[in-house]
Amino acid sequence: MKHLLARPLFLLLTLLPAVAGAADITLFALFKDKAILQVEGARRVLATGAVSPEGVKLVSTDTQAEEAVVELNGKRETLRLGVVVSAFQSAARESVTLFADTSGFFHAEGSINGAAVTFLVDTGANTIAINSATAKRAGIDYTKGHAGTARTASGYAPMYGVRLATVKVGEIVLRNVEAGVIDGPQPETPLLGMSFLSALEMKREGNKMELTRRY
């Protein structure tokens, strides 16, 4: 696939890909409005409504029935104490179809932490990249992130590695997604880089690109 890098922007931070989902979930202990889960081998203590780094949300607990309801990838499952549940998923995988503009670039309507954005699909960027104004609009305190440097069309600029709570494109939603925030006006259009795209299957035919969620 041709790299869709439209401007001289090179991200100098190497960041990890998004967490697409959990392999196995076990309910270890149960309390009123709290549970201890094991998700992909990691012990997680969650209060009702909290979401683990793997994207598992504790919906409710029932100490009498010794059950807890959790949500992952938009689907709910009831867990029983000590029983291992393999990753559950929707019957149909989420997907979105994009069409190239007159310049041959693909744009996608979506959101970051609930704030609406229009992404430029950029397979040449190793992470999502946004400017500081977009970060502020999405409620991101980016100066607390890992500091680095990015080279833009205007020269070098401070860059901060952060994690985005949610990134949505069409019906595809990923949580805990790595991103880079460049302190300044660039990129003018948020770049949808490989920290999001690596969790998807990308199929291009002419001016059409289909993105499908992997599980």
Domain count, the chain: 2
Flag whether 31 is in a domain: yes
Amino acid at position 190, single letter: P
Instruction: Tell me, yes or no, whether 143 and 206 share the same domain.
Output: yes
Is residue 4 assigned to a domain? no
Cβ(104)–Cβ(213) under 8 Å? Answer: no
The residue segments making up the domain with residue 65 are 24-86
Write down which residue in 86, 114, 137 finishes a domain.
86
- Establish if 45 belongs to a structural domain: yes
Residues 75, 175 within the same domain: no
Check which CATH number belongs to the domain holding 39 and give it.
2.30.30.830
Whole-number pLDDT of residue 37: 87
pLDDT reported for residue 131: 96
pLDDT digit string (tens) for the chain, length 215 residues: 444 444 434 443 333 334 444 457 888 888 889 999 888 778 899 999 999 888 889 999 988 888 899 888 778 888 887 666 655 544 457 889 999 999 999 999 999 999 999 999 999 999 999 999 999 999 999 999 999 998 877 788 899 999 999 999 988 999 999 999 999 999 999 999 999 999 999 999 999 999 998 76
Specify whether 47 is located in the same domain as 102. Answer: no
